[in-house]
Amino acid sequence: MQQYTLTIPRQVYSGPAGIDALALLAAGHSRAAVFTDPGIQASGVLNLPLAQLDKANVPYTIFSDLPAEPTCDQAQQVIDRFYCSKADLIIAVGGGSVMDIAKLASITSESCPVRRQLDAPTLGKKQVFSIMIPTTAGTGSETTPNSIVSVPEKQLKVGIVNPEMIADAVILDGRMIRRLPRKIAASTGIDALCHAIECYTSAKANPFSDLFALEALRLIFANLTDACDHPDALEAKEKMMQAAFYGGVAITCSGTTAVHALSYPLGGRYHIPHGVANAIMLMPVMRFNLPACSDRLAKVYDAVGGTGASTESEKAAWVLDRMDAIVRHLDIPTSLAPYGVTEADLPALVTAGMEVQRLLVNNLRPVTAADAEALYRQIL
């Protein structure tokens, strides 16, 4: 008998006025630590949650110099400064990197530094109430118990996974992504697509993850391109925020596969943004996996309202073609050529990719070192 586990944030507020819940959630706290980044602060988007903190009469300290794609040591430096703020509430307003550092801050203590958690990921215990307010629709970090950091000496991104990092509350409000540049909306949206399709075709897929992954896919297929192409398509943006959340829930129930596993070295070694690295790996890995998951892809076809196919193989092919078309429509790179990666880099990439067994074991079709090399070679 198999056992399935569903772990999600305790409270989720969504809709056009979702941010209004922050005043209620913050009330009674002595000080908030607001994690964000310079771009969010400069855009004016941060003003919405700050107004709610003012409404609740909760003072705050802003940590806005958070790096994109942080190393474990950079994350520790931010967390060390957070200790000094004496805040009893963490609010993350940003994308995946911001939320990942904020989640780490909520469980990290002086006796449990970030580097120690690389080897003992469940060591940290929840210290501070945390609220996640995503400003992208893609990473799903607001939902997951994961924090992704780079380890410089390994030139690899590593996921620290600890249920203690699950947020206490999440706020999804389409206004938070209204001004999101198309390039970022596209790469993070494809990240959400990867979460959903990987979790649905994972060896660990189960009834809980299937429920959320399929709904995420339905929303993504219908809304991703509109949400990226039209700044005022607020309804499509709200649907994408829901889809990203559902994709994150699917990760907690199931797990991503070789797309994410093989993309981690691309971010760690060449600093390719996470969503872009996933987009580059998506189609090669999914075509590689096709013989092992055509039945599952056929169910995706039915869920998203595919047309023109009747057999299982036709339906599966339609899904892959549609995903490929979405990636190309969004003008995301589909090769490593713009990043200067050459054939000489393949041995190091393969070695690093094969180290991510935490995710490779989820892949329905086993991935050997020779397979990984062939997949990387396709995208040179």
Same domain, residue pair 138 and 193: no
Report yes or no on 2 lying in a domain.
no
Report yes or no on 364 lying in a domain.
yes
Domain that holds residue 70: 11-177
Same domain, residue pair 173 and 268: no
Report yes or no on 5 lying in a domain.
no
Same domain, residue pair 191 and 173: no
Residue 101 maps to which CATH number? 3.40.50.1970
Q: How many distinct structural domains can be found in the chain? A: 2
Q: What angle do CA 4, 172, 210 make, to 5 degrees?
A: 25
Distance CA 56, CA 27 (A): 5
Q: At what angle do helices 312-329 and 207-229 cross, to 10 degrees?
A: 40
Residue 323 is encoded by which pair of tokens?
Answer: 């995903």
Same domain, residue pair 367 and 229: yes
Report yes or no on 1 lying in a domain.
no
Report yes or no on 24 lying in a domain.
yes
Same domain, residue pair 195 and 144: no
Residue 264 maps to which CATH number? 1.20.1090.10
- Using left for φ > 0, alpha for ψ between -120 and 50, and beta otherwise, residue 229 falls in alpha
Distance CA 375, CA 284 (A): 6
Report yes or no on 90 lying in a domain.
yes
Same domain, residue pair 275 and 327: yes
Q: What pLDDT is attached to residue 302?
A: 98
Report yes or no on 4 lying in a domain.
no
Q: Which of the residues in the chain have pLDDT under 70?
A: 1
**Of the residues 142, 177, 212, the one at which a domain ends:** 177
The C-alpha torsion from 242 through 247 and 249 to 255, rounded to 10°, is 180
Report yes or no on 3 lying in a domain.
no
Q: What pLDDT is attached to residue 59?
A: 98
Q: What pLDDT is attached to residue 280?
A: 97
Same domain, residue pair 114 and 224: no
